[in-house]
Every structure is written in C-alpha cells, then in structure tokens.
Homo-oligomer: A and B are copies of this chain.
C-alpha cells in the first residue's frame, strides 16, 4: 500500500492525505480522521526512502565502531551504549545505522556516509588523545557527537563524557587513605583519551600526597580479561609487589582477580582492587554488595544522553555543540581493605 493507492481508496488527492498524516493544519478534522482510520486499516507506512528523498533527511543516525585492524576486538560496552541510544532513537522515529570499520578506513567511511546522504548525524566512540576524526567531521558539515573527549585540538564539538580524571583521582585517594602506597594501575589503552585522563587522575592524586609512582606498576592495553590477568600476575611476582590495583574495567578486573587468587592471596584482604564500572547489564558488579569497590557510571545512560543531545542538535541547527560531563560514583564493595602492615 502506497500513498497513491491510499489516496485513491479515499477519493482524495495525495496532497491531502499526506497533509492529514503529517499533521498539517490545512485539513478538515473530518477528513483527517477518515485518513488516519484508512491508514490504520491498510497498515499504511510511508516509504522511508521516498520520504527521505522528498524531505532531504534520512531519519537515521550512524554509529561508527572502529576495530583496530590488528586486534579485531569489539568492546562489549558498545552493546550497552547502543542499547541506551537505540531507545532514544526509536522514541523519535530515527533508525540506527551501525558501521564496523577498520581504523584505516574510517575517513573514507565518513565521507561516504555524508556524500551518500545515508544519515543525518553520527556518533563516534573512544576518541584518541589527538583524534583526527574530529576535524574531519567538523569539516564535513555532518552533525556529530563524540562519546568521550579528545584533549588536544579544538574543543568546539559535541561530546558526552565521564569525568574520568576526577574518578580515578578519587579512587586513588581512597586507596591512599587506606594506607596503600604501592598502587598499580591496570589501565586501558592510553592512546585513547579516557585512559589518558584516568592516568592523569591517578598520577595527580599520588603526586599531591607525595607518593612515589613506580613506572613498572603501570600497564596499558585493551581492556580485556586477559590484560588484567597478565598484568596483575606479572606485578604480583615482583619482590615488592603492589598492595592495590586500580583497574579500568570490570572485565579487566576479573582478570586481575584471577591472578590474585592464583597467587594465593585474597582480594579484599591482602590485596585491594578498585575498578571502573560501566554498569554493563550482563556484568553487574555483584548483586547486593558490590564485588568490587568501583567508580561507577552507566554507559547505557551515556548512550541515552548522547542520542538525545545529537537529536536536539539536528532539530535546532542553531544550537551549537552540546556537551555533557557525567560524574562517576565511588561505590564501596568488598574488594578494598586497609593496606597490610609489613
């Protein structure tokens, strides 16, 4: 069933039917009702492509997820982020277009999406400290929003980010308050901005308290379980091992925990752990009492907010780039305890 057929069925012009369906005022209430009923009855839905062609808008938002060509990892936090965003899109009649792109092709993909007119806006993830995608998108004149921030370069773009520096600074202070000084940092890939910021927060807290930072207690890599395991296992074998770990994700924290237990120590007694917790739906940090003491911020919530801001910017082009800084909560779990006296 298309508009023409529907109009013929009703004995009306396409114009009138289109107007009735789209809520324009120049239609008598009687015919509007008649049209809506008929549309319902025949289950009429306007063809997306035709509508888009006529209006110049595609009613779709792109999400580009870049996988490094080498590692081919897909971060599961995307699943939750996208769930949050998808909800907002659905509510506003937008579709979500997903592109999985190897990082050497990203520039081409953006240009194509713009030139082909596939999408009205785009959300990008995990920006690097100095991310070239941002100037590229600025120049492309395609509304976009960054999940995260990029420290260097222009700051005149839309983003939604967590206050990562503050989160890890507080976490570090908490460990210091417990008497820990040999604190290890099992970070994400520090080429990515958020990991860099977390490191900054860690270092800043240590410096403020005048505690020496041992470079051999800092690791940085993709936030897999194995990364946590390997890093912790390695450091626990030191002559003077760390007494606490600051970890970048619950997944990695599970690896750290595995190494701790393998070493015969007990987490939350001899060894303390604080992790960043994205509140992943399949990876809740325990049920009642959190397993890990954690800096928590829901990535699903971030997805929802990101989508809302982007749609807002698309609706009001004069609005300028929207930005939102979320604060992580420090929740106390069973993984932290005072530093052992030795």
Contact = CB atoms under 8 A, between A and B. Distances in A.
Interface of A: 1, 43-50, 52-53, 58, 60, 63, 65, 67, 71-76, 78-80, 82-83, 86-87, 90, 95-101, 111-112, 115-118, 222-226, 229-230, 251, 254, 258, 261, 280-284, 286-287, 291, 300
Given A48-B117, A226-B287, A284-B224, A95 B97 contact: yes
Given A46-B116, A49-B117, A258-B291, A74 B67 contact: no
A224 B99 contact: no
Given A58-B49, A90-B101, A96-B97, A282 B223 contact: yes
Contacts of A86: 98-100
Tell me the interface secondary structure of chain A in the complex: mixed
A90 B100 contact: yes
13 contacts: A1-B115, A48-B49, A48-B117, A53-B53, A72-B281, A76-B80, A79-B79, A82-B100, A83-B100, A225-B283, A226-B286, A226-B287, A261-B261
| Minimum-distance CB pairs A-B, first 3 | A86-B100, A76-B76, A45-B115
A258 B116 CA distance: 50
A217 B46 CA distance: 53
Contact of A282 (B46, B76, B116, B291): B76
B43 A74 contact: no
